[in-house]
Amino acid sequence: MGMTTAQKIFAAHLVDEPFAGTKVLGIDVVMCHEITTPIAIADLMARGKDRVFDTTKIKAVIDHVTPSKDSKTATQAKMLRDWARRHDIKDFFDIGANGVCHAIFPEKGFIRPGNTVIMGDSHTCTHGAFGAFAAGVGTTDLEVGILKGVCAFREPKTIRINLNGTLPKGVYAKDAILRVISELTVNGATDRVIEFGGPIVDAMTMESRMTLCNMAIEAGGTSGICAPDRVTVDYLWPFISDSFASKEAAVAEYAKWASDADAEYDKVIDLDLSNLTPLCTFGYKPDQVKSIEEMAGTPVDQVYVGSCTNGRIEDLRVAAQILKGKKIAPTVRGILSPATPQIYKEAVAEGLIQIFMDAGFCVTNPTCGACLGMSNGVLAEGEVCASTTNRNFMGRMGKGGMVHLLSPATAAASAIEGKLADPRKYL
């Protein structure tokens, strides 16, 4: 019997199986941000164990509230900063160089096919786009990861999702993953890895694959996973060119992590998306999804483009294409947060920032901020936001606020009209 990508990664990283069904894995990348890491640091200090297992495998960034908004968030940032300096963490990203963790770490080439990745952040599943096993964990798992470089898991089964056909005009990875979540429901993938394949995924950029994998957790999934291929190698090439004679050689090497043809899946779901319309969430759970045609006309107070889901350069390009030469509705606050400084610089160089600003958007620095209602765009009670983010829980972006999850294109169209709007008429 063949193996899935997740099974291969588990087998290659197994450190211990203390009890049947529990596998302790060696971790290749332990990522840290300033919200969930400081309490781990404080606990390690209190235990007299203020050590790190490897200064090169731990990556750290201040991203959730940056620049700090008050004394408490300044203290959190300082705790992470002091710790990173104290332990000489090689890859630490602070003000001026910092961006949203799940955008900046892939951009730096830190995640490779076959890796194990953990972070004290539920959207860590994003990094499975590189053919890695990447799981969000709590602070205690993070703490042990920092100290020992290991993490315990129940070996997850794999749900295979084949995205068949071709995506129609105006329909993107965000719409595809909303469709998948509505199929699986919010806990349909609990203790499961979601493996995405099929012709639509094969044709996707790494940015789009990250958008897909990013929201695996919204169906309860442990990690998203896409098979590594030529697209993966092209993205990673600046970081791996010294290790391989050619791109073909890298593709051949990484192919060993792809699921075998006879791998056994928990279930296989085939979705033909050739007739998919732009989608949008309507309630307070990410599996409550409707066509934009049904939702069009719903007034919005704020439009947010950014986050680890949709704050990458291709997202900004799509939104800018729609916004070019237009003004957003006077009743709408438009906020753009490019996810990393690199993306921000590219957007400046390509003239995208000019388009957003001419349309009436406010452009903020890279940060998670508004997505989780921490800063830079928190909603007031009763307000509605059309958002390219990943979670629409009640109050997520501010107590009493309502969030509609949608693609950057749909966000841009909605900003122009001041209400949820179909982007296809602008393309």
Partner 1 sequence: MKKFGGPVLFLDRSDINTDEIIPAKYLTEITKEDLKPYLLEDLKLPGFDPKSDKTFGAGAVVTRANFGCGSSREHAPWVFEVNGIHVVIAESFARIFRQNMFNCGMAAIELAPGQIDRLFTFADAADATIEVDVANTSLTIKGGGREESMQFEISPFDKALVLAGGWVDYADSKY
| Residue number, 19 or 238, with CB nearest to partner 1 | 19
What does the alpha-carbon distance between residue 92 and residue 339 come to, in Å, rounded to a whole number? 16
What does the alpha-carbon distance between residue 260 and residue 249 come to, in Å, rounded to a whole number? 19
- 76 lines the binding site for partner 1 (CB under 8 A): yes
- 182 lines the binding site for partner 1 (CB under 8 A): no
- 38 lines the binding site for partner 1 (CB under 8 A): yes
- 45 lines the binding site for partner 1 (CB under 8 A): no
Q: Which of 137, 159, 180, 385 binds partner 1 (CB under 8 A)?
A: 137
Helix (H) or strand (E) holding 158, with range, is strand 157-164
Tokens of 134: 């990447």
- 424 lines the binding site for partner 1 (CB under 8 A): no
- Measured from the CB of residue 242, what is the shortest distance to partner 1 in angstroms? 32
- Measured from the CB of residue 427, what is the shortest distance to partner 1 in angstroms? 33
DSSP annotation of 123 reads: G
Tokens of 245: 């004679």
Helix (H) or strand (E) holding 273, with range, is none
Residues 33, 62: contact at Cβ < 8 Å? Answer: yes
Q: Which string of DSSP letters, residue by residue, matches 292-307? A: HHHHTT-B-SEEEEEH
- Measured from the CB of residue 136, what is the shortest distance to partner 1 in angstroms? 4
Q: Which of 45, 47, 249, 267 binds partner 1 (CB under 8 A)?
A: 47
- 24 lines the binding site for partner 1 (CB under 8 A): yes
Phi, psi of 91 (to 5 degrees): -115, 90
| Residue number, 152 or 271, with CB nearest to partner 1 | 152
The residues in 360-379 that bind partner 1, with binding defined as CB under 8 A, are 372-374
CA nearest to 167, candidates 125, 130, 141, 199: 199
What does the alpha-carbon distance between residue 182 and residue 269 come to, in Å, rounded to a whole number? 13
Which residues are near partner 1 by CB under 8 A? 15-16, 18-22, 24, 35-36, 38-39, 42-43, 47, 49, 64-65, 70, 72-73, 75-76, 79, 120-122, 124, 136-141, 143-144, 147-148, 150, 152, 154, 186-187, 190-191, 220, 222, 284-285, 372-374, 391, 393-396, 399
